């Protein structure tokens, strides 16, 4: 645990002032070529790198884009990959921050992260699935799949209703008539849209809506267990379930297995998102693909445009059915 090498150490070793070192490093003019090269040699010898923190306190610009997430789960990670790839070759580094982990309450994590990092440290932010309305921010922001409407400066999201309808129609076309829905967090707009897509597909097919067939999954594995059990414990259980996201779909399948049901023979399950685990699970999970990588790239495009002075934008990406092995015709 040696002490950090500071600009001060470099100045001292080079026999010049701190200001001169700063100018040399940042290529400002007003430094003699000989001094310049001497300073740079000392910098190399000492292995000096400026502290991001100190630099960002003084500068307005840091060259870092922040990706703010509640938690590093598969959905956010795929997005992060897209963001990172899209930022290759630009002058920006990526910094991803999961801010709600230590904070007691998940609510408002985005506001907290944004004000802790914004204005300093990051030049702009991409916020993944924020659940509250945006705070007054000091940097340009793009929200991906915001959960509370369009009040965010710029947004990138998938057309949830269409995707959910496609998933439900897929089950209907296989011959299912008792179709359950393991829904997402009902306080989130995406969950409401997905339920709406589910209902409209049922209605379009002339199937009745049965409130007993809708259980809560909360988009999370742990929160889905009870709902999955509840659906399967019904006197007249569903033969197919549309889960609001892949994590709850995977949990749905696990619970089905635990109860002695085979997927897809006894129960068809379809999810939403298409996280990597969906394709590698056995059986492979049928789902509705969100083009996460492309969404990350779109967010970057919009953010860079805002950084360059451009206005707000709302990007809507299509969701696409990915029928795989977890859905089949009902056996009864």
Partner DNA sequence: CTGAAAGCGCTAACAT
Partner DNA sequence: ATGTTAGCGCTTTCAG
From 13-21, 134-142, 169-177, 197-205, give the range in contact with a copy of itself by CB under 8 A: 134-142
Q: Which listed option, a copy of itself, DNA, none, makes contact with residue 87 (CB within 5 to 8 Å by class)?
A: a copy of itself
Indicate which single residue of 6, 81, 131, 221 sits in contact with DNA (rule: CB under 7 A): 6
Indicate which single residue of 30, 44, 88, 211 sits in contact with a copy of itself (rule: CB under 8 A): 88
Question: Which positions from 101 through 120 interact with DNA, judged by CB under 7 A?
Answer: 119-120
Tell me whether strands 320-322 and 287-289 are parallel, antiparallel or unpaired.
Answer: antiparallel
Length of the chain equals: 332
Q: What is the largest CA-CA distance in the chain?
A: 86
Q: Which listed option, DNA, a copy of itself, none, makes contact with residue 97 (CB within 5 to 8 Å by class)?
A: a copy of itself
Question: Which positions from 13 through 72 interact with a copy of itself, judged by CB under 8 A?
Answer: 47-54, 56-57, 63, 71-72
Task: Give yes or no for a contact between 268 and 326, defined as CB atoms under 8 angstroms apart.
Answer: yes
Contact string (CB under 7 A) for DNA, positions 19-58, x = contact: xx-xx-xx-xxxxxxxx--------------xx--xx-xx
* Inter-helix orientation angle 246-258/221-232, to 10°: 50
Q: Which listed option, a copy of itself, DNA, none, makes contact with residue 207 (CB within 5 to 8 Å by class)?
A: none
Q: Which listed option, DNA, a copy of itself, none, makes contact with residue 308 (CB within 5 to 8 Å by class)?
A: none
| Phi then psi dihedrals of residue 287, to 5 deg | -160, 180
DSSP-based helix, strand, coil % in the chain, nearest 5: 40, 15, 40
Residues touching a copy of itself: how many (CB under 8 A)? 62
Indicate which single residue of 15, 32, 93, 318 sits in contact with a copy of itself (rule: CB under 8 A): 93
Is residue 234 a contact point for a copy of itself (CB under 8 A)? no
- Those residues whose C-beta lies under 8 Å from the C-beta of residue 235, and which sit 6 or more positions away, are none
Q: DSSP readout, 181-224?
A: EEE--TTSHHHHHHHHHHHHHHHHTTPPP-GGGEEE-TTSHHHH
Contact string (CB under 8 A) for a copy of itself, positions 273-312, x = contact: ---xxxxx---x----------------------------
- Rounded-to-integer distance, Cα 39 and Cα 58, Å: 22
Q: Which residues bind a copy of itself (CB under 8 A)?
A: 1-5, 47-54, 56-57, 63, 71-74, 77, 80-81, 83-85, 87-99, 101-102, 111-112, 115-121, 135-140, 276-280, 284
């Amino acid at each position: 645990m040696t002490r950090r090498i500071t600009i001060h150490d470099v100045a001292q070793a080079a026999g010049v002032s701190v200001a001169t070192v700063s100018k040399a490093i940042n290529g400002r003019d007003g430094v003699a070529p000989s001094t310049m090269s001497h300073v740079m040699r000392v910098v190399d010898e000492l292995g000096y790198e400026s502290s991001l923190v100190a630099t960002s306190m003084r500068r307005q610009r840091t060259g870092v884009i922040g990706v703010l997430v509640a938690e590093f789960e598969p959905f956010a990670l795929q997005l992060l990959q897209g963001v990172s790839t899209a930022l290759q070759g630009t002058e920006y580094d990526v910094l991803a921050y999961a801010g709600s982990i230590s904070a007691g309450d998940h609510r408002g994590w985005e506001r907290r992260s944004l004000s802790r990092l914004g204005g300093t440290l990051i030049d702009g932010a991409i916020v993944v699935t924020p659940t509250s309305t945006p705070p007054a921010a000091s940097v340009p922001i793009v929200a991906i799949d915001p959960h509370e409407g369009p009040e965010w400066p710029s947004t990138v999201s998938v057309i949830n209703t269409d995707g959910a309808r496609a998933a439900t129609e897929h089950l209907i076309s296989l011959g299912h008539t008792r179709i359950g829905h393991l829904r997402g967090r009902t306080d989130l707009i995406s969950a409401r849209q997905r339920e709406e897509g589910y209902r409209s597909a049922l209605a379009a097919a002339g199937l009745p809506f049965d409130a007993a067939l809708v259980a809560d999954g909360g988009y999370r594995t742990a929160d889905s267990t009870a709902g999955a059990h509840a659906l399967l414990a019904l006197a007249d259980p569903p033969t197919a379930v549309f889960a609001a996201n892949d994590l709850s779909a995977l949990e749905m399948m696990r619970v089905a297995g635990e109860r002695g049901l085979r997927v897809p023979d006894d129960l068809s399950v379809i999810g939403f998102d298409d996280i990597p685990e969906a394709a590698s699970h056995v059986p492979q999970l049928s789902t509705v693909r969100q083009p996460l990588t492309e969404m990350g790239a779109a967010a970057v495009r919009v953010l860079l445009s805002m950084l360059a002075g451009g206005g707000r934008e709302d990007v809507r990406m299509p969701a696409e059915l990915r029928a795989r092995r977890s859905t089949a015709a009902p056996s009864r």
